[in-house]
Amino acid sequence: MGDKMQRRLIVMRHAKSSWNSAAQTDHERPLNERGRGDAPRVGAALVELGWVPDLVLSSDAQRTRETLTGMNESFPGEISAAFLPSFYHSGVSAVREEVPTVDQAVGCLMVLGHNPDWEDLVQSLSGESVMMKTATAALLTRDLAAWQSAFDPGSWNLEKVIYPREL
């Protein structure tokens, strides 16, 4: 398995979306003006903290796609991303299935999705309760040899929570 290294996991909820849109379904709802402003600010805060993801696993919903597009305005270079229907439909169980398949070279992983699943995910990983309002990013660390053991017993450390309203 190799030596343990510090892994970073960013659990982020999509930015504020619009309920007053022409979207036919919840899945198609776009960001609203506030959400389009919050995403690049949270991206910039991550860059400032040195938390630039090597890979983003995201829900395939319109609002998560737009959130990542906004964050990419602040990130240096293009970030690899996979948009997964399972993150929209299955939340935490999908994360538990996907994260162990992540390449060992990835040191910083972002999972981008929805509530209430993301609050449950942060709680189960860190033991801490975090209110995951829109565009909130919870920054977690843990020494791991491989992502396969990300959900083994043991706790992640909640290092910081980024709230867009505080930026």
151-167 per-position pLDDT tens digit: 876 689 999 999 999 99
- Single out the residue of 53, 102, 105 nearest to residue 74, CA to CA: 53
**What are the beta bridge partners of residue 57?**
82, 111
> What are the pLDDT digits (tens) for 57-105?
999 999 999 999 999 999 999 899 999 999 999 999 999 999 999 999 9
pLDDT digits (tens, 9 = 90+) for 94-152: 999 999 999 999 999 999 999 999 999 999 999 999 999 999 999 999 999 999 999 87
What is the C-alpha separation between 152 and 66, in angstroms, rounded?
A: 32
Q: What is the pTM of this model?
A: 0.96
Is-contact 57 110, C-beta < 8 A? yes
CB-based contacts of 53, cutoff 8 Å, min separation 6? 10, 46, 75, 79, 108, 109, 110
62-72 helix and 33-49 helix, angle to the nearest 10 degrees: 50
| Amino acid symbol at 36 | R
Q: Which CATH architecture has domain 5-166?
A: 3-Layer(aba) Sandwich (3.40)
75: tokens are 């990130």
